[in-house]
Amino acid sequence: MKAGEKKHLCRGKLHQKRYSLIRNFNVLIVLLTVLLLINLFLGISSMISFRDHNEKQIEKILGAYRQKQDERLEFVRHYVEWSAVHEPLLRDLMKHTGAGKEVQDLLVLRSRVRDMKNAYGAGVMFFAYLEGEEKFYHLSEVKIPYEDYLELRKRAPQKAEKEGQKMAWQRIRLGQDRKSFLFYGVSYRGVYVCSLVDAEKLRGNLDDIITGRKGYYRLLDEEGREFLKVDGSGGSLFPLFYRNYTLQADPGGMPYQVQVHADVYSAAAEQEIRQSLILLLLFVVLFVAARYIYVTNRSVLRPLEHFQIALKNVSAEDSILHMESPPLRELEPADQQLKNLVSQLQKMRISVYEEELERKKFEITFLQHQIRPHFYLNCLATIDSMAQLGEIEELRKMVLFTSQYIRYLFQVDSNLVRLSYELTHIEAYLDIQNLRMEENFEVEVKAAPEAMEACIPPLFLISFVENSVKHASVSAGEKLKISIHCRREEERLVVDIADSGQGFPPEFLREQEGELSLAEGKGGEPLVAERKEEPPVAKRREEGAAVGEKREEGSQIKEAVLKRTHIGIANSRKRLALLYGRSYRLVLLNLPAPAHGAVVHVEIPFEQSSEKAVAFD
């Protein structure tokens, strides 16, 4: 192959390979969506990791804080109680041993307190009040203004009114700024020792918690009143990133409650969110661009695509086109010509459809009125025989049953009749057969009340009953039993017709192959033929012999029966196909051994009695 030919072939392949701009944008959006989801997944995973780490850190800090404060305040409480009860130097101060001795004892006490500072920590002050001497001493370094000291000196005697009273931790406020302190005091035999703890010094390691710009921690007394609050800094601005932690007050340890509102995701999580928002913004921009291209493409390529689809639908058999005018002016002439063509095709289809309906209606009417003249001739012959024999009562019944039977046949001019009318017609037919053939049939009819008002094709069920009467044989001395059961199952009418005869021939069932539609019949020929003529019984009555009709006469009769038998069933199947299309079901089967007999199972759409159903007088 020459180089020029290869180049031309390559260009031809490239020309044949087409690309869709919208499709490429859709692929890009999908990829970006996947990238966004991956980024969100990784970001959420990182945020969860940050949160777990920060929560553990906060819980660790709070645990250490509680332990430290419990130990510290327990030491203060123990020292205050011990000093009030057992400190000998305080007892010596009450004995007026002289100014020098008083100063020396105070120096010793203050030295002891100073040596214990590592145990009770910063911000703790101790005081002693001697009730008899009305003297107020500070046993530690005083870190409050002098005005606050004087206020405390006045309030201390009030707390020592009851001898031996043990004080609990309380919150007091001193000075003009009403600064908060924790106060604990014990009075014993005129000696009152108390401790004052600065609330600001209770912060401890709580400052190590990164609470965030919207976070804080605060201390509350036993009554829930806040006496210290420290706002945070840094961290996230999202309120959803914050969690609350609480340390409950313990009467035997820390006498106040700690509440922490802290950022558990930190600024790193906020950075992850910013990154995701940027990616989301890129996604939105790309989506808007794709939408703009889609709208632009729709105004040019879509009209051409719709026009092409319209051209394809012209040849479709079941399509009814409702074409809209294309937005492109260049397509308007071709569109108008196409509409004219489609309009003509639709008119032709409607005409063919109407002709088909008329043909089907004619076929249904033909099948419906395909009755045998020999049956009426036999009925008339039987009536004549009864008249000659003087069987007036049987003659009257025969005339009545025959008139009812013929009236029903000639009044049926509709596609549907009520089930109750069809069952009455079947009873008239069986009465005629009993009188003509002197045979008794046991008939059982069970129909639910709601099923009696259903509409069925006329002369439909009787074809199956005639099949049982004509072809079903029983042993000598037995009666042929025929049962008809009708019921409604949801939106279906179900009818079962069974007899106690020998059943359908196996060859016939094999030919039927279960539920074959009419279109699957052999050769497409109408399944219509004339039934075998029944022998008249006039001669039998003249001779006075009660001879029944024989149903099987040798192998030749069996072959004829197999060829022409059950034609009524074939006609019924064809009528069902014409009336209901594929929405009916017809099943033919034999009862399994040891039982015997044929069963016809029919299911058709349930239609309530309406104007479509003919009524009879």
Give per-residue pLDDT as tens, 563-603: 455 566 777 788 788 788 888 999 998 888 777 889 999 99
CB atoms < 10 A from the CB of 255, how many?
Answer: 21
- To 10 degrees, what angle do helices 266-298 and 301-313 make? 60
Q: Which of 344, 422, 375 is nearest to 530 (CA)?
A: 375
The angle subtended at Cα 317 by Cα 311 and Cα 323, nearest 5°, is: 40
- How confident is the model at residue 97, as a pLDDT? 63
Out of 182-196, 274-288, 432-446, 515-529, least confident range: 515-529
CB atoms < 10 A from the CB of 33, how many?
Answer: 13
- How confident is the model at residue 604, as a pLDDT? 92
pLDDT digits (tens, 9 = 90+) for 94-153: 776 666 788 888 888 889 888 888 888 888 999 998 877 778 888 988 888 888 888 888
Identify which has the larger pLDDT, 362 or 219: 219
Q: Where in the chain is the domain with CATH 3.30.565.10?
A: 369-614
Exposure string of 121-159, with b = 16+ CB inside 10 Å and e = fewer, is bebbbbbbbbbeeeebbbbbeeebeeebbebbeeebeeb
pLDDT digits (tens, 9 = 90+) for 392-421: 887 887 788 778 777 776 666 566 888 888
Task: Name the CATH topology of 369-614.
Answer: Heat Shock Protein 90 (3.30.565)
